[in-house]
Amino acid sequence: MKLSSRVAKIKPSETLAISAKVNALRAQGRDIIDFAAGEPDFDTPVHIKRAAIKAIEAGFTKYTPVSGTNELKDAVAEKLRRDNDLEYKRSQIVVSCGAKHTLYNLAQVLFDHGDEVIIPAPYWVSYPDIVALAGGHSVIVDTQEKDGFKMKPEQLKSAITKHTKAVIINSPSNPAGAAYTPEELKAIAAVLLDKDILIISDDIYEKIYYAEFPFTNIAACEPKLKDRIIVVNGISKTYAMTGWRIGYAAGPEEIAAAMNKIQSQNTSNPTSIAQKAAVEALCGDQKIVDKMVSEFRKRKDYIVHALEQIPRVKCFSPEGAFYVFPNVSEIYGRSYKDRKIISSTELIDYLLDEANVAAVPGVAFGSDDHIRLSYATSMKNIEEGIKRIKDAVSKLEG
C-alpha cells in the first residue's frame, strides 16, 4: 500500500515507543526499572478528580466551543496574569488536547514549505516531527553542556536566515532541565527585536523548577515582543494529569483564530470533562504542586549525585523538569563480551538487556553523547535502577 509522503517523513515518538517496549517486556515477566517515562508518577490530586466526576454527574458531557469553554479560558487568563504577569483576552487563548496538540495546531497554522524553525538541541523529541508534518524545516542549534545546554544569542543570530519563521524556546527544558535566566532571555530577545520572527515559548515545565532565579517567560522579559510570542503550556506535568489531555496557547488574536479554525476540522473541542478538571487544577489549591516539586527535588539531588559516582559518567544538574541528561560519551568504545557500545542507542539497548533498566537514547533529542533518565519514579526504584546501571557499566571493558 502506498501511504502519504507526509507520514513517511516522520518517525514515531521514541519516548512513547520505549514505554510500549517496557510494557511488553513486563508482560513477559521481566522486572524492568523504567526511567523512560515522560510523566509524573503521582496520582492526579483528589480535588481535581472530584471536579471531573461532578462534571459527569451534572451532564457536562457534550461538545463545548472548539477552542475551549469561556470558564477555562478565563482560568487560563487568570493563571497567566497571576504567575507570568501577562494579560490575554479570551480571543487570544486556544485550549487543545494537550500541549503537543497545541504545538501541532500552531505548526499547521504557521509553517509553509521552506519556512525555517530554529530549535535549540537537545530538544524535545516531537518538535522536529511536528515542524516536518507542517512542511517546515527544522534548523537545529547545538547548545553546549558548558553553557548549561542553553542557546547563546550569537548562536541564534547566526542561525537566522531570510527563511526563519520561528524559534522555539523551552525553559526549563526536556531533556536537559536547562532554564534560562531573565537576563539570558533578554539577550535572546534583543537578537529578535528587529526581525520578523515568531517565538514559541513552551513553558510546560514552568512549575517543576529548582533554580535560584525565578522562572520567566520571554514575553514578560521583553514586552515589545509580546505580539510575536505564543505561550504554550498545559496541565499534564504540573498537576500529574498527562492522561487528561489539556494544553493551551496564548498569543496574537490572528494566530488564535487560525488555530481555532484548524482545530474545528480535526478534534473539535478538547474533552468537556477534562476542561472542568483543568479549571479546578488552575484555580484550586496550588500547594499540592509544591509537594510534588519538593519530592522531585529530593530525587533529583539523589540521582545527580549517584550518577556522578559511576565511572565515566558526568551529570549536569538540572534546574527544572524531572529528567537528568548524563553525558555517557566516555563509555563509548568499551565492550561486554562481543558487544561494543558506540552510541546512545547501543548503550540504552545494553542497559535494557543486561540491567533491566529502560531509558531514552540522547540521539532522540539531538545529542548522541547523552541518555535521558526520568526520575518521575519512586526513590526505591531510583536507588535500585542506578545500582543496576552502575553494575552494567562496570562490566564494560576496553
Ligand X SMILES: *Cc1c(COP(=O)(O)O)cnc(C)c1O
Identify whether the C-beta of residue 355 lies closer than 8 Å to the C-beta of residue 389.
yes
CB of 241 to ligand X, least distance (A): 8
Residue indicated by cell numbers 520505549 = 18
CB of 124 to ligand X, least distance (A): 4
111 touches ligand X (CB under 6 A)? no
Q: Which stretch binds ligand X (CB under 6 A): 104-112, 137-145, 236-244, 350-358?
A: 236-244
How many angstroms separate the CA atoms of 202 and 171, rounded? 7
CB of 132 to ligand X, least distance (A): 16
Shorter beta-carbon distance to ligand X: residue 88 or 365: 365
CB of 374 to ligand X, least distance (A): 10
234 touches ligand X (CB under 6 A)? yes
Which segments within the chain are labelled E, that is strand? Answer: 33-34, 93-96, 116-121, 137-142, 164-170, 198-202, 229-234, 247-250, 323-324, 335-336, 339-340, 357-358, 360-361, 371-374
124 touches ligand X (CB under 6 A)? yes
Identify whether the C-beta of residue 127 lies closer than 8 Å to the C-beta of residue 154.
no
How many angstroms separate the CA atoms of 106 and 260, rounded? 10
How many angstroms separate the CA atoms of 385 and 389, rounded? 6
Shorter beta-carbon distance to ligand X: residue 99 or 229: 99
Site pattern 163..182 for ligand X (x: CB under 6 A):
-------x---x--------
Shorter beta-carbon distance to ligand X: residue 55 or 97: 97
How many angstroms separate the CA atoms of 191 and 59, rounded? 51
Identify whether the C-beta of residue 187 lies closer than 8 Å to the C-beta of residue 154.
no
Identify whether the C-beta of residue 115 lies closer than 8 Å to the C-beta of residue 266.
no
Q: Which stretch binds ligand X (CB under 6 A): 94-102, 270-278, 310-318, 353-361?
A: 94-102
Shorter beta-carbon distance to ligand X: residue 354 or 370: 370
Helix (H) or strand (E) holding 17: helix 14-27
Give the three cell numbers for residue 27: 508482560
Shorter beta-carbon distance to ligand X: residue 200 or 341: 200
Site pattern 4..43 for ligand X (x: CB under 6 A):
----------------------------------x-----
Give the three cell numbers for residue 250: 496564548
Q: Which stretch binds ligand X (CB under 6 A): 55-63, 95-103, 299-307, 340-348?
A: 95-103
How many angstroms separate the CA atoms of 81 and 259, rounded? 22
Shorter beta-carbon distance to ligand X: residue 12 or 311: 12
Residue of the chain from 202, 203, 206, 295 that contacts ligand X (CB under 6 A): 202
Residue type (1 letter), 398: G
Summary count for the chain: helices (H), strands (E): 14, 14
Residue of the chain from 98, 122, 148, 270 that contacts ligand X (CB under 6 A): 98
Residue of the chain from 120, 128, 247, 366 that contacts ligand X (CB under 6 A): 247
Q: Tell me which residue has its CB nearest to ligand X.
A: 98
CB of 274 to ligand X, least distance (A): 11
Give how many residues touch ligand X by CB under 6 A.
Answer: 14
Residues engaged in binding ligand X (CB under 6 A): 38, 98-100, 124, 170, 174, 202, 204, 234, 236-237, 242, 247
